[in-house]
Chains A and B, each alone.
Chain A
Amino acid sequence: MIPDRFEYFVPKTVPEAVGLLQRYGPEAKLLAGGHSLIPLMKLRLAAPRYLVDLNRIPRLAYIEEDGAALRIGALTRHGDLEASDLVRARYPLLADAARVIADPLVRNMGTIGGSLAHADPAGDWGAVMLAARAEIVATGPRGARTIPIDGFFVDTFTSALEPDEILTEIRVPKPQRGGGGAYLKLERKVGDFAIAAVGVSLGLDGRGTCGEVGIGLCNVGPTSLRAKRAEGALQGQKPDDAAIARAAEAAATESDPVGDLRGPAEFKRDMVRVLTARALRLAVQRAKGGA
């Protein structure tokens, strides 16, 4: 459980951190919460020669709403999102997810930016942000750019970030009137990654018909997945049992799980179906003002 040696840098600004990434290239890793990276280093499955600690750069951790969006600084800890009154009141999809990431101690160190940049298909925030239609702000040598979440997860542990870019902010669209969301995670025990997890975001219009629907799937594919056909099955429909069941079936077919110690693929696929239906029902209930 002893990591390999490395050199350690503590940049004071984002450009300084970017410069270190440029200088050291693939042998450098960013250190945010460190609760994905350091466990790998302790097993010597990762052995970066240079560690760039982002934690002393000011103004990278915040949870604020502006005109258009909820803006979350990349270094915001999962635990702060869990404790945020703003998130709990207005972003139930995020609030549900924040409390089931790992365990309470890990949540005090792990960051939302680090988690998303790590692009682990088992990372909860991926499915959440896909459902929420979020945007990622990345800062590199040429300044900041916005990456829509749909193109962000490229492959397992591979995001659309360039090697010299740092994820600095996440933007979540503000809730619509009649909006609701939910995140349900089936895990073997607290602290585990999901057997399967589903995040849902939707809005009901005045007549109770679904407008935009976002459905994100966690740990049932090579990356976090967006269940587009499932979304389509519900868009423009009244979310009655039949419609929800159709959407849930579709989501299951869009998942691509691998059998492992958490269970066989067919089990996980059926869990996508079960959890999607439950999450949709819960989101609808919340959209209507309940739960």
Chain B
Amino acid sequence: MAVAHGMGHAVKRKEDARFIRGKGTYIDDIKLPGMLYLDIVRSPYAHAKIKAIHPEKALAIPGVLAVITGKDLDKYGLAWMPTLMSDKQMVLPIDTVLYQAQEVAAVLATERYVAADGVAVVEVDYEPLPVVVDPKKALEPGAPILRQDREQKTNHIWHWEVGDRAATDKAFREAEVTVKQDMYIPRIHVCSIETCGCVAKWDPVEGKLTLWMTTQAPHAIRTVVALVAGHLGLAEHKIRVISPDIGGGFGGKVPVYPGYVVAVAASVLTGAPVKWIEDRMENIQADSFARDYHITAELAAKKDGTLTALRAKTIADHGAFDAAANPSKFPAGLFSICTGSYDFKNAFAEVDGVYTNKPPGGIAYRCSFRVTEASYMIERIADIVAHQLGMDPADFRMKNFIKPEAFPYKSALGWTYDSGNYQGALKKAMDKIGYAALRKEQAEKRKRGELMGIGISSFTEIVGAGPSHTFDILGLKMFDSAEIRIHPTGKVVARFGTKSQGQGHETTYAQIIAHELGIPEDDIAVEEGDTDTAPYGLGTYASRSTPVAGAAGAMAARKIRDKAKKIAAHLLEAREDDLEWERGKFFVKGSPDKAKTIQEIAFASYTNYPQGLEPGLEAVSYYDPPNLTFPFGSYICVVDIDKGTGEVKIRRFVAVDDCGNIINPMIVEGQIHGGLTMGLAPALYEEINYDEDGNIQGGSFTDYLLPTAVETPRWETDKTTTPSPHHPLGAKAVGESATVGAPAAIANAVVDALWHLGVRHIDIPITPWKVWKALREKGITE
């Protein structure tokens, strides 16, 4: 018999059934009658004028129907589109390209292979223009101005700052110890194994657009399409966005890419369905990147190791358009969490966004809106201060952690952390890894010239965007929603405004409802992703699903329970006050056998309900969270460094995470494993650079190095539980914690291994040759 498990249970996933049979429906699996294929011609140049586009050879190929250019789209006002940061971005250029691999033209054909043949023979005459790929050079006078379309002719996009500059500067002037460190976090790309794509189907009879799309936020897309293409006759009630199975998102499937827009336009113009799906190289080279932050971090402290102030200045390389998908008031995302887990009286952070001849983006890699950058910065520089003062890095952190009694804690940069117990997490991690014994081992090895390092990262995450007073995306507030309906036979359909790309919502949301209503998970069908049926939501990214939509699910279920109580009272001929709830049923206080199950109540809601009460048993909740949530953790990494080759071998990695009350520990652990691997990747392997001409270095999987099962250590995980005081379930979210916390743990471990040689910082990715270089400079060799 089916059982209601509820919170805290490792319920096996309901969505597995189709995936393990190869029966998932991903975008490229969709095949419609008469479907056409779109493929894209891309610029080899990082900055160039387009003198002419010659489509003749392509159009001569049987099956090629059209070559669409920016000039074509311009006739419909679609050559440019707004970005989520109130900038605008080219869909297809009219006369200038601004980054290598930028979309230049699109070939529409009857077959996938024919479209590719068409792309190969479209000829474009370019006149190369001077390239700028260094954001610092882009700010210098005389640098080529990339955005001639903007009123202000500058490559400087915006300046953003937070905190008290004067008080912080004063604290630095008066400090006993100050430490400064430049850190560059290179561009990386999230590379979900499924690339981006869509199938656009315009029905000319109904005047309706159906858009299957790799999107993490289907409703936002629907509204954006209605606003951007409204003048073409696309009205929001006649747009249906369907996000089917998504092969990984991680933020890379939030932005609107030109391919989507051209596919929609092509479908509207031809009346046929149009599929666009990109290759991996297109995905890496043109789709939203992450990081590319040039940070100068400073800490002020007392000689005894007490931190007194933080100051950070960042140049943010945004590429050619500001298309980062941040909440609108936060051009640098939630970077102001950079005070981290420490109690700073004074802090100041400023970020300047800059245009360069590179693709646009900035936050698509599981980063919680720049929290990866912030966390890496503070944990790296905190470690430098600790080492400089000769303090054990764990002791240093314990000394400076926000105390448990200080919560809710108002940080110097304006956030109110809901709850935390940083000491508990760090202690647990230290015990689990055997910290004291490792330090002893390290000392002994050091005497023998062996290089071993221990790195700690004690991060505070900030997720669950977010309260309407602070958060919106293009004006849309960042609430989320749940709609729960119980059928006469007690089975449930529940729809949410988020969209899982592997996080297991079909199971975890069912567990929330099971927890609140006592209905077995097997009896609950969870649906997401179809804007025709799902209530409006802002989607799944930045770890917001559990904090916001999960809360909506709990609130909707509680509304149902309130109504169910009325029906139970009616059925039991008792007063509501005389009833008690035990998960799954109402019973009369003192007479437990006088009870009605939720299933009996459901049936009654259609057949035998009290006079004056509306029939049915359903509820909707739109949840506007009162605050963000603040998951946290402590990670400890042990590395051994090969003196001959510079290779960094991770011997052990212990991750203690605190995400508040847990819905499904199996899924939480899986999220952490995956997140740790996406923290390992940029720490040791992944980077995207550009040469001076704007040519990408590392634009395919041959050189963009995703870790395999051999590079990835056997992650060890554990937890502490510090519930969120404001979340209905006390839950906090966990999806990005490990990506946020891991890189600093690894980087700190490497520097810890080499500190005694005089090495204080190595920029990630810490590749063998970087370590080799540091060692040789210190005279260490094999």
B116: A residues at CB distance < 8 A: 1-2
Given A195-B768, A261-B697, A267-B769, A189 and B645 contact (CB-CB distance below 8 Å): no
Contact A189 B768 (CB under 8 A): no
- Among A1, A192, A278, the residue within 8 A (CB) of B705 is A192
Query: CA–CA, A103 to B709, complex, Å?
Result: 12
For the complex, would chain A's binding face be called helix, strand, loop or mixed by DSSP majority?
loop
Given A2-B112, A263-B769, A274 and B782 contact (CB-CB distance below 8 Å): yes
Given A1-B279, A2-B112, A274-B645, A189 and B769 contact (CB-CB distance below 8 Å): no
Contact B772 A270 (CB under 8 A): yes
Q: How far is the CB of A14 from chain B (nearest CB, A)?
A: 32
Query: CA–CA, A274 to B710, complex, Å?
Result: 23
**B161 contacts the other chain (Cβ, under 8 Å)?**
no
**A93 contacts the other chain (Cβ, under 8 Å)?**
no
B703: A residues at CB distance < 8 A: 261
Given A1-B279, A190-B708, A274 and B644 contact (CB-CB distance below 8 Å): yes
**B698 contacts the other chain (Cβ, under 8 Å)?**
yes
Query: CA–CA, A270 to B767, complex, Å?
Result: 15
Contact B113 A189 (CB under 8 A): no
8 A-B residue pairings within 8 Å (CB atoms) = A2-B112, A188-B705, A189-B708, A191-B708, A261-B703, A263-B767, A270-B781, A271-B645
Query: CA–CA, A4 to B781, complex, Å?
Result: 49
**B137 contacts the other chain (Cβ, under 8 Å)?**
no
Number of interface residues of B (CB under 8 A): 28
* Minimum CB distance partner of B114 in chain A: A2
- Among B279, B769, B782, the residue within 8 A (CB) of A264 is B769
Given A261-B697, A274-B782, A186 and B768 contact (CB-CB distance below 8 Å): yes
Query: CA–CA, A270 to B769, complex, Å?
Result: 10
**A56 contacts the other chain (Cβ, under 8 Å)?**
no
Query: CA–CA, A236 to B158, complex, Å?
Result: 70
**A44 contacts the other chain (Cβ, under 8 Å)?**
yes
Query: CA–CA, A4 to B61, complex, Å?
Result: 13
Query: CA–CA, A265 to B240, complex, Å?
Result: 55
Query: CA–CA, A71 to B756, complex, Å?
Result: 53
**B755 contacts the other chain (Cβ, under 8 Å)?**
no
The 7 closest A-B pairs by CB, nearest first: A263-B769, A2-B116, A274-B644, A267-B769, A190-B710, A1-B279, A190-B708
Query: CA–CA, A278 to B117, complex, Å?
Result: 49
A103: B residues at CB distance < 8 A: 708
* Minimum CB distance partner of B776 in chain A: A270
- The range of chain A's interface size is 20 to 34
Additional 20 contacts, C-beta under 8 A, given A189-B685, A261-B698: A1-B116, A1-B279, A2-B116, A4-B117, A44-B120, A188-B768, A189-B710, A190-B710, A190-B711, A192-B702, A192-B705, A195-B768, A261-B703, A262-B769, A263-B767, A267-B768, A267-B769, A267-B773, A274-B782, A277-B782
Q: How far is the CB of A73 from chain B (nearest CB, A)?
A: 29
* Minimum CB distance partner of B708 in chain A: A190
Q: How far is the CB of B37 from chain A (nearest CB, A)?
A: 11
Contact B113 A2 (CB under 8 A): yes
User: Scoring A residues 254 to 291 as 1 if CB is less than 8 Å from chain B, else 0, what string do you get?
Assistant: 00000001111001001100110110000000000000
Q: How far is the CB of B709 from chain A (nearest CB, A)?
A: 8
B645: A residues at CB distance < 8 A: 186, 271, 274-275
- Among A4, A189, A271, the residue within 8 A (CB) of B707 is A189
B767: A residues at CB distance < 8 A: 188, 263
B residues 615-658 near A (Cβ < 8 Å) are 644-645, 647
A263: B residues at CB distance < 8 A: 767-769, 772
A264: B residues at CB distance < 8 A: 769
Query: CA–CA, A53 to B767, complex, Å?
Result: 40
Q: How far is the CB of A144 from chain B (nearest CB, A)?
A: 36
Query: CA–CA, A219 to B390, complex, Å?
Result: 43
Query: CA–CA, A44 to B116, complex, Å?
Result: 11
B705: A residues at CB distance < 8 A: 188-189, 192
A1: B residues at CB distance < 8 A: 116, 279-280
Query: CA–CA, A246 to B120, complex, Å?
Result: 53
B768: A residues at CB distance < 8 A: 186, 188, 195, 263, 267
A275: B residues at CB distance < 8 A: 645
* Minimum CB distance partner of B709 in chain A: A190
